[in-house]
Structure 1
Amino acid sequence: MLPRVVVAPYECLTRLPNMGNMPLHDSREEAAIVALLRGTADVTKMRPKDLRARLEDGELPTGVYFSRITGLIEVDPSALEAISTEIEGWRASGIRVMFSSSPDYPESLRNVYDYPLVLFGTGTRAADECTVAVVGSRNASPRAVQMASELSATLAAQGVTIASGLARGIDTAAHEAALRVGGRTVAVLGHGAGQIYPRENAPLLERIRTRGGEILTQFWPGSPPTKQTFPMRNVTMSGLSGITIIVEAAEASGTRHQAQAAVHHGHHVLLHESVASGTSWGRDMVSRCLAQEFGSADEAANLASTRLTAGPSELAFA
């Protein structure tokens, strides 16, 4: 029989009141968290609310610190040691491992209800108090690419952090425009660190990392992209960003997930008039006053600046 090691999963799995800023105590606790996550069918690929439902139903143990045992799991000590070594390896390769109660975990993301339980990052960590997501179609029209570029450059030059998903089309234009004016941009990936998708954006990824930007992902290092990971990525990007701007999108575009998440996060949504009138979800959001439409890059930049000053959205939704 294996020696019994008692560990208590960390607060980030239970979201206990008034404990949101507690630092991790030691590497054993970090390893215990990873062990617990991996022991539940790779829960980093589950929506956070699904994991919370499992916790509330008592399917997973709960607790806070080793010294405060309210729920227990048993882990092979050698397994914990192996996981600690793996975490050290991630960090040695330049990957930040940020649990939701780590001091370097993005504050804006921690403030939404469906934040990821762990983030992995490379590049430069910053407060990013004013972040705008500029997203849209992978197969974007030249007009939309130009608009995304102008909009992102204008906002980045004003000190706004531009978030996007490193995809082809609108995302690429947004990242490149922010870098071109010396601004900051954050790429939120739908796969783990060490993967690159699309491959042609490998040079862009490196420029973001080395020129003051940041690469963030909620997926284990080395994890490939899947159909499920991209919508999850969009929800995380919404949490990071006070405003989501959709420059171009079709009816089935994945950006609709981000627009819907932004509303639920109480964040602002701006839709280009082609999206506001050309998609059923865009028409619905505008008709219910859940999003505002714009017609030009200048108009979108002005609306975004106004809303960043005003703070979180107070729009009601059903």
Structure 2
Amino acid sequence: MPEHHSSACPPAELEARLRLHRLPEVGLRRFQTLIEAFGSASSALSAPATAWRTLGIPAAACEARRSPEVRDGASAAMAWLERPGQHLLMWDQPGYPPLLGEIDDAPPLLFVAGNPALLERPQLAIVGSRRATPPALDNAAMFSRYLAKAGFTITSGLAVGVDGAAHRAALEAGGSTIGVLGTGLEKLYPQRHQSLAQAMIERGSAVVSEFPLDAGPLPANFPRRNRIISGLSLGVLVVEASLASGSLISARLAAEQGREVYALPGSIHHPGAKGCHQLIRDGALLVESVEQILDSLRGWQNLPPAPVDKPAHPLLALLHAQPQTSEGLARSSGQPMAQVLASLTELELEGRVSNEAGRWFARSG
């Protein structure tokens, strides 16, 4: 198993990050603020309360850092990470999925059971109603099967209905699939998907969550996890959704994140089609076949190996002109996104580019 996924930090710093992560009202921005202000999570935890107040960190977070619940939770997570196939990805460490790193409010920590490398591969999200009709479940399975065979990892939320059908079909096709939870990995919800999650982990797929391992199913967590489903993916396919469906949240977030949004049309008499029809009116691509999705993402399949040892890298020339997002580079270079991301990773490792707030900058020297 790749070591760096769980242990790029020294153990004391890793435990300190796990404690910061459990504090109330500490999301990515405050997490980053604390680490940047004090140099490390360990130093942040031992800093005086006045210093936290100066940074605008809420009193509740400051008081909770000494609590036994926070300490014990971090120790339990350290023990969890000792077991095989259980990993922690951090927003500022190697192995963090690059597309997810580009979104606003990317999760600072991501717990992964299964194969963490999968999160860096091309993914398509398939989402839809929990109370899906039999034809919708068939469609979810069909699209999932074909897209998995075309080389995409199928990402969804492990909910009942469309999500479960998409995960199962990807596995049955011999493909890979990622389940993003709205609970901690040790509190899997819904319970009836326990065996599906286990099968995914055992067959080289993955189940992930930004929430502490013991976090329960709070209603507010499910819309939050939708930004991760869309953030990991190149596009989101909505199979069936009423106007009140959480799938519409995923689709709207996907559009805001610059991802493709696809929707399957349905009968004008069926309430479960109204959400998809609304998305199509809002600019989602109406799809009737897998080919339409593959066409819109052409260039992801059969990728040529990224060019090596080219002194004047074409992406560098574009970045010297102006800083750009990965999507902007893909557009202006005409290269497929996978190739752009592979090249950027190499250039970053060579110290020739850096990423700040989702934009890439060429580094001189």
What's the TM-score, normalizing by structure 2?
Answer: 0.67
Gaps of 5+ in 2: 1-6, 49-64, 301-325, 332-365
CA change 1:313–1:253 in 2 (3 A) is farther
Against the structure 1 CA distance between its residues 223 and 42, is the aligned structure 2 distance closer, same or farther, given a 3 Å change threshold?
Answer: farther
State the partner residue of 2:22.
38
| Superposition pairs of residues 123-134 of structure 1, within 5 angstroms | 123-127=114-118, 128-134=120-126
For residue 304 of structure 1, give the secondary structure of its aligned residue in structure 2: helix
Alpha-carbon distance in structure 2 between the residues aligned to 1:29 and 1:302: 47
Deviation at 1:89, TM superposition (A): 0.5
SS of corresponding position for 1:269: strand
Q: What is the aligned partner in structure 2 of residue 91 from structure 1?
A: 81
2:261 equivalent to 1:269: yes
Corresponding residue number in structure 2 for 1:162 = 154
Task: Report how far residue 30 of structure 1 moved.
Answer: 2.3
Aligned: 1:243 with 2:227:
no
Asked if 1:232 is matched to 2:224, the reply is: yes
Partner of 2:37, secondary structure, is coil
Q: 1:192 to 1:70 in 2, by over 3 A?
A: closer
**Inter-partner Cα distance in structure 2 for 1:64 and 1:188:** 32
CA pair 64-285 structure 1, distance change in 2 beyond 3 A:
farther
Q: Is the 8 A contact 1:62 1:71 kept in 2?
A: no
**Counterpart of 1:105?**
96
Q: C-alpha displacement at 1:189, in angstroms?
A: 0.7
CA distance in 2, matches of 1:220, 1:25: 18
Structure 1 distance, partners of 2:263, 2:165, is 17
In the TM superposition, residue 310 of structure 1 has moved relative to its aligned partner by 5.8
* 2:358 counterpart residue number: none
Q: Which amino acid aligns with 1:27?
A: P
Q: Secondary structure at the match of 2:189?
A: coil
Q: Work out the CA distance in 2 between the residues paired with 1:165 and 1:66.
A: 33
- CA displacement at 1:25 relative to structure 2: 4.1
Distance 2:44 2:208 in 1: 32
Any idea what SS the aligned residue of 1:206 has?
A: helix
Whether the 8 Å contact between 2:241 and 2:276 is mirrored in structure 1 is: no
| 2:342 corresponds to | none
Q: Is residue 180 from structure 1 mapped to residue 154 from structure 2 by the alignment?
A: no
Provide Cα deviations, 1:68-125, integer angstroms capped at 9, x if missing partner: x89972477x999867643420202443122111212222211222211111010112
| Partner of residue 73 from structure 1, selected from 37, 47, 72 | 47
| One-letter identity of the residue aligned with 2:287 | F
Shift of 1:198: 1.6
Cα 1:192–1:209, aligned 2, differ >3 Å: closer, same or farther?
A: same
RMSD: 3.4
Asked whether 1:152 is paired with 2:126, we answer: no
Unaligned ranges ≥5, structure 1:
1-22
Secondary structure at the counterpart of residue 147 of structure 2: helix
User: Is the Cα–Cα contact under 8 Å of residues 157 and 179 in structure 2 kept in the other structure?
Assistant: yes
Question: What TM-score, normalized to structure 1?
Answer: 0.76
Say if 1:310 and 1:268 are closer, same or farther in 2 by CA, change over 3 A: farther
Q: Tell me how far apart the structure 2 counterparts of residues 233 and 273 of structure 1 sit (CA, whole Å).
A: 25
Change (3 A) 1:87 1:222: closer
Structure 2 Cα separation of the partners of residues 71 and 92 of structure 1: 23
Instruction: Output the amino acid matched with 1:38.
Output: R
Q: Secondary structure at the match of 2:175?
A: coil
Letter in 2 for 1:34: L
Q: How far apart, CA to CA, are the structure 2 residues paired with 1:166 and 1:262?
A: 18
Aligned to 1:309, the other structure's residue is in SS state coil
Where relative contact order (Cα < 8 A, 6+ residues apart) is larger, the structure is: 1
Aligned equivalent of 2:112, options 115, 121, 144: 121
Pick which of 306-315 and 87-96 moved more.
Answer: 306-315
Q: Separation in 2 of the partners of 1:275 and 1:109?
A: 34
- Distance 1:207-1:119 versus aligned 2 partners, 3 A rule: same
- Give the AA of the match of 1:111: E
Counterpart residue number, 2:310 = none
CA shift, 1:273, in A, is: 1.1
Q: Distance in 2 between matches of 1:199 and 1:224?
A: 12
Supply the distance in 2 between the matched residues of 1:55 and 1:194 (Cα, whole angstroms): 23
Of 285, 290, 298, the match for 1:309: 298
| Aligned residue type for 1:31 | E
C-alpha spacing 1:313/1:243, structure 2 compared with 1 (3 Å): farther
Whether the 8 Å CA contact 2:186–2:213 is kept in 1: the answer is yes
User: Residue 252 and residue 157 in structure 1: after superposition, are their counterparts in 2 closer, same or farther (change >3 A)?
Assistant: same
Instruction: Flag the 1:83–1:294 CA change in 2: closer, same or farther, 3 A.
Output: closer
Moved more, 171-180 or 99-108: 99-108
- Say if 1:282 and 1:171 are closer, same or farther in 2 by CA, change over 3 A: closer
Which amino acid is the alignment partner of residue 257 of structure 1?
A: I
Q: 1:218 to 1:79 in 2, by over 3 A?
A: closer
Task: Give me the whole-angstrom Cα distance separating, in 2, the residues matched to 1:196 and 1:222.
Answer: 9
Q: 1:256 aligns with which of 205, 228, 248?
A: 248
CA distance in 2, matches of 1:226, 1:243: 26
- Supply the distance in 2 between the matched residues of 1:81 and 1:190 (Cα, whole angstroms): 23
Q: Which amino acid aligns with 2:248?
A: R
